[in-house]
Amino acid sequence: MNKEKPTILILCTGNSCRSHLAEGVLRAAGGDLFNVASAGSKPAGYVHPLAIVAMKEIGIDISAHTSKHMNTFLEGEVETVITVCGNADQACPIYPGQVNRHHWPFEDPAHALGTDEEKLAVFRRVREEIRLRFTAYADGRRDERKSAVAKEGAA
């Protein structure tokens, strides 16, 4: 495992919305600290267009993301797995090198009903919930790393 930049894998069922929102946010907030990827237990095969729009609004481009199966990552080392829906949490395997596992469920915006604007409003709300949680996570990991470096320097 790359000790400098461990891999964090974000899982959901379809790998079309929530996991891509989280991947984009976490990469923007902590890409200097870790490699970030997302996958699904039953990948939809596409990234939801409204997820792309919602992220573009905050300056994060996920248009090149692809929907992947979680088994794609069984060959490499994954330090942390974060599931963002209950189904993925139940289906999640243990990955080589896995040290941490977190389950942070979010509403699936793909199930939003109404006009395109009403659906986009749900994507925006879920995006902001994800942004708060994953930015705080990146900040916490950054603080941990600074503390560890300071301890090494004092030793």
Sequence-separated (6 or more) residues with CB below 8 Å from residue 136: none
Residue with tokens 């469920």: 105
Concerning whether 92 is annotated as a catalytic residue, the answer is: yes
Given the residues 92, 110, 122, 126, select the one marked as catalytic. 92
Catalytic residue check, 17:
no
Cβ–Cβ < 8 Å for 8, 49 = no
The reply to whether 12 belongs to the active site is: yes
- The answer to whether 56 touches 20, Cβ cutoff 8 Å, is no
Residue tagged active-site, from 28, 85, 88, 138: 85
Q: Active-site residue among 12, 25, 52, 88?
A: 12
Q: Taking CA 128 as the corner, what is the angle to CA 113 and CA 7, rounded to the nearest 5 degrees?
A: 110
* Other beta carbons less than 10 A from residue 27's beta carbon: 21
- Tokens representing 155 are 């030793």
| Tokens read off for 8 | 């964090």
List the catalytic residues: 12, 85, 92
